[in-house]
A and B are shown apart, each in its own frame.
Chain A
Amino acid sequence: MKRKLFIATSLSTALAGCGAIGTKLTENDRIHSILDAGEKLDRALIGTHGLAREYSVSDISRVFPINSFDTPIDVTYVRLMRNAFASYRLVVDGMVERPLSLSLAQLNAMPQTAQITRHDCVEGWSAIARWSGVALRDVIALARPEKGAGFIIFHTFDRDANGVPYYESLDLSQALHPQTLLALRQNGAPIPPDRGAPVRLKIPTQLGYKSAKWVRHIQVLPSLAHLFGGKGGYWEDQGYQWYAGI
């Protein structure tokens, strides 16, 4: 009986040590790069197919959580905001045949599309809102990507407390998905400053951190390697998966 007690005690101690072992393994770069294989499988096997479910007006969440840094304090952004974004320009450049600089008026003059979709946060919560604006693929078609273009990068006015810029990226198939939206309005009203005014990305087939707020500059590039941390986004550079479909 004593032996069984000893075995049971050591087994439970081993289980409790599981987290500690896991922590040590996580901090080993080689182990970590093996664990990253999970993301590659997710991307290959789940990918980006089909359309995110669209909801009705009665499904819209009364409270939509805000889960990002505060409204940018970037000098250019503050000046634009004071001026109701009249001098805002969305710059599209990089590997494109026709670089663009679009004002809000020009974006509003393009064909508008709307969706009532669910926003799924990486933390686990979900909220539903109506988003409207210009389909990203329409802007990309206007700029005409060159051969070899692989990724669409979204630079924003946002920075963290240490001054590190917030940016995001999509591959071409995600960017050309019909529901990938450059949103100008949320629930019918212009997007408020704390929710990404005047233009934010909304991609309902991916977790929320992909939907960059305060977009200022769209860049078409062959790869993500030479941008900031090289992982294709602010959160990706902190260890979050680039493929945010799961």
Chain B
Amino acid sequence: MVYRHSAVTRLTHWLFFIAFLALVSSGLQIFNAAPYLDASDKSDPARRVLQIYAPSDNVGKTIIFGHAFTTTGWLGWTDDGMGGKTGRAFPGWITIPSYQDLADGRTWHLFFAWVMVFCGVAYLIWGIARHDLRELVLRPSDVPKLLPMQLYYLRLRKEPPLHGKYNPLQKLAYTLVLFVFAPLIVLSGLALAPSFDAAFPWVTVIFGGRQFARLWHFVLMVALCGFFLMHVLLVVTTGLRNHIVSMITGRYKLGAHDGVGI
């Protein structure tokens, strides 16, 4: 048994979890109000990258880079959150509120965006002050170990490479999420705000304009969902109980490969 996660890490972890679910669900609600994404500043159908719509009743279509897919029931023609079906990009079971309500979707999104930002800042300050982040951040010396670690996960290698508290792939994932995806998703969200754009116009410019920022915001959401799914999958397959208990009490039971080479 080791004391693995500080109280700040544990608290912010679960707040991140709640905020992430709320932000994705309310974000899809907001997306539904204009279910298309353009790689441009002003809206421009000629630069449309994604469109989800119902060309007629009982048909849902998704167009990605000009390729059309029939997605009836999943995207475009979906449940309206009130027991019926309607022309709506993302279905009611995944949006907050479940029925079409842009105003409340925004209320949720703008609240949990701040929860996410405050948690992120608290986590980073704490991590730097306590030197916890040192074990989490990918270093040049970890790079040669990335491939052996991936081979180990794919069961093409018997032993994982020597590593500390976190393995090189974990470090890569956490470093990307904390220092690349998270700041970019916050900035691309702020770039959509007309008052933020007036105060800091360069932010919108680096994303390629307001509609392009909306596209970035969406793509980063998909990337973070990918991280979330991998994270849950690995937690479930590498000792669910141990992980959950350690994220509540802080105490973690070391396994055969944990902590080697510290």
- Taking Cβ atoms with an 8 Å cutoff, the residues of A that contact B are 4, 7-8, 11, 15-16, 18-20, 22-23, 26-27, 32, 34-39, 41-42, 46-53, 59, 61, 65, 118, 120-128, 204-207, 235, 238-241, 244-246
Contact of A240 among B22, B42, B95, B103 (CB under 8 A): B103
Chain B interface bracket (under 10, 10 to 19, 20 to 34, 35 or more): 35 or more
Interface of B is mostly: helix
CA distance A22 to B195 in the complex (A): 28
Asked, given contacts A19-B25, A23-B96, A26-B97, whether A235 binds B103 with beta carbons under 8 Å apart, the answer is yes
Taking the nearest CB of chain B, how far is it from the CB of A135, in angstroms?
A: 16
Residues of chain B lying within 8 A (CB to CB) of residue A120: 192, 194, 197, 210
Contact of A36 among B97, B101, B107 (CB under 8 A): B107
* CB within 8 Å: A-B pair count: 162
Contact of A26 among B104, B192, B198, B240 (CB under 8 A): B104
Q: Are A52 and B198 in contact (CB under 8 A)?
A: yes
Residues of chain B lying within 8 A (CB to CB) of residue A4: 236-237, 240
CA distance A13 to B81 in the complex (A): 16
Query: Is B71 positioned at the interface, with any CB of A under 8 Å from its CB?
Result: no
Residues of chain A lying within 8 A (CB to CB) of residue B92: 19
Asked, given contacts A124-B34, A205-B195, whether A26 binds B96 with beta carbons under 8 Å apart, the answer is yes
Q: Are B236 and A50 in contact (CB under 8 A)?
A: no
Q: Are A126 and B195 in contact (CB under 8 A)?
A: no
Provide the B2-29 mask, 1 if CB < 8 A to any CB of A, else 0: 0000000000000000000110011000
CA distance A46 to B200 in the complex (A): 10
Q: Are B195 and A16 in contact (CB under 8 A)?
A: no
Q: Are B97 and A22 in contact (CB under 8 A)?
A: yes
Q: Are A16 and B197 in contact (CB under 8 A)?
A: no
Q: Interface with A: B49-57, B109-117, B171-179, B247-255, which one?
A: B109-117
CA distance A39 to B240 in the complex (A): 38
